[in-house]
Amino acid sequence: MSRRLCSIALLLLLLPLLACSHDPGTATVTRVIDGDTIVIDTGQKVRYIGIDTPEVYPQVEPYGKEAWEVNRQLVEGKQVRLERDVSDTDRYGRLLRYVYVDEILVNAELVRLGLARAKAYPPDTKNQQYLEELEAAARETYQGMWVK
């Protein structure tokens, strides 16, 4: 086999691996799984860094449906900017990202509305103090899950 054919064959073998490692800075949200997890147009799942929302699967927890619905309104079908902290993925293979729609940090907006808890997952803690301040304010003003 010629050197050129070997190079082409090697490239064809590596192409799927290169596609899998693609880390989009922007993407379109194709599906909202729950309050803190989405699917983007590459097919990858993205887990929001620094927050935890009530679950909708396998059982709906209080405020889980509200967190999912607000997340849908914020990002579904929209172009988002994805910002990495330290880790690329979690143990489930989901991308770990701060997610922005225009200038809105969606992770923070969900906390501000009382639909998510600020929850640190070291080493990804760049915005943790800000998220904790938003949670404290949501608690003080009885937003969302913090209602009396």
> What phi and psi, each to the nearest 5 degrees, are found at residue 111?
-70, -45
Which residues are marked as active site?
47, 55, 94
The CATH code of domain 23-146 reads 2.40.50.90
User: Is-above-0.95 flag for pTM?
Assistant: no
Q: Could you give the C-alpha distances from 90 to 21, 50, 74, 120, in angstroms and in order?
A: 15, 12, 23, 13
- Residue-wise pLDDT tens digits, 40-96: 999 999 999 999 999 999 999 999 999 999 999 999 999 999 999 999 999 999 999
Q: What is the pLDDT of residue 19?
A: 46
Rounded to whole angstroms, the Cα distance separating 7 from 124 reads: 39
Domain boundaries, the chain: 23-146
